[in-house]
Amino acid sequence: MAEVIRMPKMSDTMEEGVIASWLKEEGDEVSSGDVLAEVETDKATMELESYQDGVLLHIGVKEKESVPVDGILAVIGEKGEDYKHLLEEAKNGESDDDSDDSDKKEEKSEKKSSEKIDTSDINASIIRMPKMSDTMEEGIIASWLKKKGDKVESGDILAEVETDKATMELEAYEDGTLLYTAVEEGSGVPVDGVIAIIGEEGADYEALLKAEEQGGDDSKEKEKEEEKEQKSEKSTSDSSSSESSQQSTSSASSGSSSDNGRVKASPLAKKIASEKGIDIAQVNGSGPDGRIVKADVENFTPSKAQEQKSDGDQPSINIPQVVGEEKSEKVELSQMRKTIAKRLSDSKFTAPHFYLTMEINMDKAIEARKSMNEVAPVKISFNDMVVKAAAAALRQHPDVNVSWKGDHIMKHQHIHMGVAVAIPEGLIVPVVRFADSKSLSHISAEVRDLAQKAKDKKLQPEEFSGNTFTISNLGMFGIEEFTAIINPPDACIMAVGGIKETVIVKNGEMKPGNVMKVTLSCDHRAVDGAVGSAFLKTFKELLEDPVRILI
């Protein structure tokens, strides 16, 4: 009987896999244990084995395509067997819930559409929050300059809006009566949110609001938008003509003024200028069309104005124009990078981190390493000594060797040290198991072997899972000190900096020495400051007298 082959969960963090290559083709006979394909997970490239005998009837995924865990990969069965009903059943099983929800949404949408309110005969328009800067997401109504029931004309200032960069004026684009204001002063409105309604007196603005809740009248909204765009284009054209005219005359004003000589400034800016005794005509505006806003007046000083005037007497300077090309490249995320992003985001924003930094004198460690490498079968690195010392310190402080599990803490009796390894695709953490029981030579050989497997994407699941504590070392890159994000399921991670030659004060005397800084990141839910500090103190003692590591 034919059977659907699904994407297995090949690691504890895997959510989807990419078919790196198919090793079998449709029509091939396969036996239990045969490798069907190579699958790229978030941590390694692994083999997908067949668990039954038969013929590979169907391949549902192309090479380099991703498939979520439990997604359909292939079908294996007897030669000539009809398998299409299996695919339909599998797909229907996955989409039943979605289709039910979709049907409900469609019914709701159809019902909503059938009851749509006709607003074509309502002579009123909704005023929305405009996007007044490229980074603006919402605006705050600083003050209303018109009240409900007031008559307004196109160009009148309705309100002052505080954006993320300045306080700016909100103009009316049509004549009428202010029928409705949606928010009070001091309240925020998202970009494109409803601010007010302007129209003929007595117009049914409540019907407009109800239509807005239903999704609005698209045709009417488009018509209003076109009118606004035409007015905006006309305003821009007039402004450009005015600017051109001003440039052709020798008596151009240094301030911000309109075509009729009126200074373009917000009421708030005028008020502040009046209180400070500033001639607002001398202030340069940073708002739309050179309008003067609050910040311009607050930042204005008479000396700057004098400098600007005197600059006019100076000979002009030709500034060379630099021409460049803006270019960016879209880089698709690898499975590893997606998982790193998700896991570390979850860790950083879920676990309350705190950090403990300690400086360690590495003079004796340097001497000990030199002596050990004279007889060791493999070269021992400072990182190997850090791994061994941390494992030994964990044995003395088991309350650091824990994992947070929500409703309980898992206290581990074993010590499995995760050692962060950088590879081109991202970061992976191979695990040295029972590190406290292994010699420095053993740790050194194992770390090198695991690092090479990580770079070759040959790590097996048991080689990158089960860590109880993690070490991240950037000392080889010249980094003196940094903090690391906790690597779940650990409650702690230790960031190790480089060894630096410096002056050390000992017994009142200054002597040259070598120091290394380490920072312990702790999950405060599971590890308290005193517990983490005691661990670091022991770790420091072990490295400052390395003979203790060997005991």
**Can 414 be counted among the known catalytic residues?**
no
What residues have CB less than 8 Å from 199, skipping those under 6 apart? 122, 123, 124, 125, 176, 177, 179, 205
Which of 13, 21, 75, 74 minimizes the C-alpha distance to 46? Answer: 21
DSSP secondary structure letters along 288-350: GGG-B-HHHHHT--HHHHHHHHHHTTSPP--PPPP---------PPPHHHHHHHHHHHHHHHH
Cβ 300 vs Cβ 287: under 8 Å:
no
Q: What's the one-letter identity of residue 419? A: V
Half-sphere exposure of 339 (CA within 13 A, CB side): 23
Which of 543, 544, 523, 541 minimizes the C-alpha distance to 532? Answer: 523
| Burial per residue of 444-473, b for 16 or more beta-carbon CB atoms within 10 angstroms, e otherwise | bbbbeebbebbeebebebebbbebbbbbbb
Residue of 353, 397, 442, 524 marked catalytic: 524
| Burial per residue of 352-365, b for 16 or more beta-carbon CB atoms within 10 angstroms, e otherwise | ebeebeeebbbeeb
**Can 353 be counted among the known catalytic residues?**
no
How many Å apart are CA 55 and CA 404, to the nearest integer? 46
Residue of 103, 346, 528, 545 marked catalytic: 528
Neighbours of 533 (CB within 10 A): 14
Question: Which residue numbers are catalytic?
Answer: 524, 528
